[in-house]
Structure 1
Amino acid sequence: MERWPWPSGGAWLLVAARALLQLLRADLRLGRPLLAALALLAALDWLCQRLLPPPAALAVLAAAGWIALSRLARPPRLPVATRAVLITGCDSGFGKETAKKLDSMGFTVLATVLELNSPGALELRACCSARLKLLQMDLTKPADISRVLEFTKAHTTNTGLWGLVNNAGYNEVVADVELSPVAMFRTCMEVNFFGVLELTKGLLPLLRHSRGRIVTVGSPAGDMPYPCLAAYGTSKAAVVLLMDTFSCELVPWGVKVSVVQPGCFKTGSVTNVDEWEQRKELLLANLPQDLLQVYGKDYIEHLHRQFLHSLSMALPDLSPVVDAIIDALLAAEPRRRYFPGRGLGLMYFIHYYLPESLRRRFLQAFFINHRLPRALQPGHPGPTSAQGPNPSPGSSPVVAR
């Protein structure tokens, strides 16, 4: 039986009034974080009623509710006004959805695509305003980057360039490092690191002048040793370290740098199963015979099935990533890191705080669980049959950026 419902009720009225005001101002969202905070406040209310006198309980509950709503509130945002933003990789996925959202908010959007007649480019033309400009760019081609730099300088004379969103990324192979041609590592580095480096350096004079923002889409694979994603992961690790360096060096200029590390979402590259099948067949066709004998075709087929299974669990709603990019562009004090996606908090906790053996097992269970290579299976020749260095596997053509 409650002894003093009024002080408790008064605290809840205060919390409810502030929550309603924040919702009306769009400073707060209905969702799991808010529901979790309310559940914790209810538990605190129950505890306070049994341990504290009424005045103290009222003060504790009201203060806890105020702090919780303050933490859940969106940080102050800058007005859109006439801000211009360049976004790379708008053919599909995060880039396309971010371009559409920024255009609807009133931004001047410069959206780069690999092909001007791709389905994503045609969709942007059809649904966006005349402010949005489509630019063709392949990040592996310096001439394309130079053309985009010149266009951006010429078309942001009046507005200035407020933000650069380095979204374009590429992965060509899912396989053990030993099975992955070095050429594929170079391709990932060309797109995910060197192309980003060249474009960002070229736009720095504009961004320094506007005291603007740099937002780069990274990947948890750049922080953790995801099985079979070494080529992609090392390129993402390199670009994140580059952005951290920019973040330190650009402080005197007022340029803020953020990295978005999304979980697994259903972007164009994730849903294109046929393309991953072609890449697997290309890998098998170019694999040296000695490696194929040691690992076995069944081993690579197993990796491929495990990878496709993990992609089938990808999240279809891309809005958490789009919201993170927009916050990094407009928040008065943007975060250095954003982690949109389900389960990322648990993954990073395991990665940083649990023993290495548990980290490895978790990533294998979550992503790809290896089977024994052919040479290590009972009844097969041992792995010492191959002598000397392996011949260099053939490289495969780049499919998309």
Structure 2
Amino acid sequence: MESWPWPSGGAWLLVAARALLQLLRADLRLGRPLLAALALLAALDWLCQRLLPPLAALVVLAAAGWIALSRLARPQRLPVATRAVLITGCDSGFGKATAKKLDAMGFTVLATVLELDSPGAQELRACCSPRLKLLQMDLTKPADISRVLEFTKVHTASTGLWGLVNNAGHNILVADAELSPVATYRSCMEVNFFGTLEMTKALLPLLRRSSGRIVTVSSPAGDMPFPCLSAYGTSKAAVALLMDSFSCELQPWGVKVSVIQPACFRTEAVKNVDQWEERKRQLLATLPQELLQAYGEDYIEHLNGQFLHSLSQGLPDLSPVVDAITDALLAAKPRHRYYPGHGLGLMYFIHYYLPEGLRRRFLQSFFISPYVPRALRLGQPSHTSAQDPGPNLGSAPTAQ
């Protein structure tokens, strides 16, 4: 079929004009995504010239170019100005990194830590501006939350409180649901759910007044049944649903709510191997004899070894999570969910669209490979070796 260069040229002229305008406004970056989009447009141009009449080719190519540039455009962001943000759990990990980033951007940061003389608190005190205020707070103590609330009211009286970043959380045990003491579930819920709930409710009057933002760090373990993370995952599922409720109910007030679901990153808590070993020893020492006989010490050793191996594969650069939190605070239209880190798209696709058996096997191979409990191995050869960590395709989400 005869090609039609003029309609094609007109569409390319329109695409080039918009791209140049976006580049001048710094709404578009020169890089691989833009080059890939242009290559796809060129392929589409070739097909349109051969399969469509001139006017249809012009419309299709121009529309495709416009959509592609719209998707590549940086989201519109609000100015930092004098915005104040409170971040929980800044002793280490995502909280500490976010406090540094927001302080450098010009935010007034109120950073809560468990101990004012902890290494993380000392690091923030040394490297951040005088605008950053360190506040001691334990999320399980209502008196601490009340004290932080009063401090926040006083120190944001002139600017208002723009954002709350619910980052504090923890995971204290890796074990099957039956092996995990009920106290472990209560501990995770106290920090990850009830502490976040109390903190959010305490600051809501200030956030409603400013039509501000609530950003909560959750975990894919709250969406999928990761092996041996039932206590942690249950608390994260609860807090994610809570934030969904807040998102609907606070919409009339102009408060926007976002949830961050990060992949596994190598935070300080993740790298503390001695801590996980000590918790394993405590579990073995306190486990009822009946359960220890049924599952076996080698079973628990296997779980712990697999877990530590998964953590060692975590991403060392925390900036994707920090960037997601920053976008949730400043984007004119923040996303309801952010998924920073590699591999989460495939993980969620498998979880939502493949059969249950495949989902289960994928999570086991991705995180902790199967190992047969002792009672089921009696009279049978072991299916795997406790010393062999088995296949591992990635790493697991952990506490912040």
Q: TM-score scaled by structure 2?
A: 0.90
Change (3 A) 1:202 1:119: same
Residue in 2 aligned with 1:245? Answer: 245
Shift of 1:45: 2.5
Distance in 1 between the 2:73 and 2:269 partners? 34
RMSD: 2.2
Letter in 1 for 2:193: F
The one-letter code of the counterpart of 1:196 is: T
**Deviation string, structure 1 residues 48-73 (Cα, Å, up to 9, x no partner):** 23212444334322221111111222
Rate the CA distance shift 1:165–1:288 in 2: closer, same or farther, 3 A.
same
> What is the alpha-carbon distance in structure 1 between the residues aligned to residue 23 and residue 272 of structure 2?
39
Q: 1:43 to 1:316 in 2, by over 3 A?
A: farther
Residue pairs, 1:270-281, within 5 angstroms: 270-281=270-281
Is residue 374–residue 380 contact of structure 1 (8 Å, CA) maintained in 2? no
Contact 1:214 1:256 in 2 (8 A): yes
Structure 1 pair 301/5, CA: closer, same or farther in 2 (3 Å)? farther
Distance (whole Å) between structure 1 residues aligned to residue 60 and residue 201 of structure 2: 51
Task: Give the partner amino acid of 1:75.
Answer: P
Matched, 1:70 2:70: yes
Query: Aligned pair 1:261/2:261, yes or no?
Result: yes
Q: Which runs of 4+ in 1 moved over 6 A?
A: none
Runs (5+) with no aligned partner, structure 2: 382-398
| Partner Cα separation in structure 2 for residue 65 and residue 317 of structure 1 | 33
What amino acid does structure 2 have at the position aligned with 1:265? F
Aligned ranges for residues 2-401 of structure 1 at < 5 Å?
3=3, 8=8, 11-12=11-12, 14-29=14-29, 33-379=33-379
Aligned counterparts of 1:54 and 1:317: Cα–Cα separation in 2: 49
Take 2:20 and 2:343, find their aligned partners in 1: how far apart are those partners?
A: 29
Shift of 1:379: 1.7
Q: Distance in 2 between matches of 1:30 and 1:138?
A: 45
Shift of residue 380 of structure 1? 6.8
Shift of 1:29: 4.2
How many angstroms does 1:13 deviate by?
5.1
1:166 deviation in Å? 0.2
Q: C-alpha displacement at 1:38, in angstroms?
A: 3.5
Provide the secondary structure at the position in 2 that maps to 1:26.
coil
In 1, Cα distance between equivalents of 2:256 and 2:286? 44
TM (normalized to structure 1)? 0.89
Partners of 1:322 and 1:49 lie apart in 2 by 45
Counterparts of 2:280 and 2:38 in 1: how far apart (Å)? Answer: 49
Instruction: Give yes or no for contact 1:166–1:217 (8 Å, CA) kept in 2.
Output: yes
Question: What per-residue deviation string (whole Å, max 9, x for no partner) do you get for residues 328-382 of structure 1?
Answer: 111222221111121211211111121111111111111111210111114279x
> Alpha-carbon deviation of 1:35?
4.8
| In 1, Cα distance between equivalents of 2:32 and 2:349 | 20
- For structure 1, the residue ranges without an aligned partner over 5 or more in a row are 382-399
Deviation track 1:275-313 (CA, whole Å, cap 9, x = no partner) reads 212211221122122211111111111111211222122
Identity %: 84
Report if aligned partners of 2:3, 2:50 keep a CA contact under 8 Å in 1.
no
Shift in CA distance, 207/29, structure 1 to aligned 2, threshold 3 Å? same
**Contact 1:90/1:113 (CA < 8 Å) preserved in 2?**
yes
1:3 Cα deviation after fit: 4.7
Aligned residues: 383
Question: What amino acid is aligned across from residue 143 of structure 2 in structure 1?
Answer: A
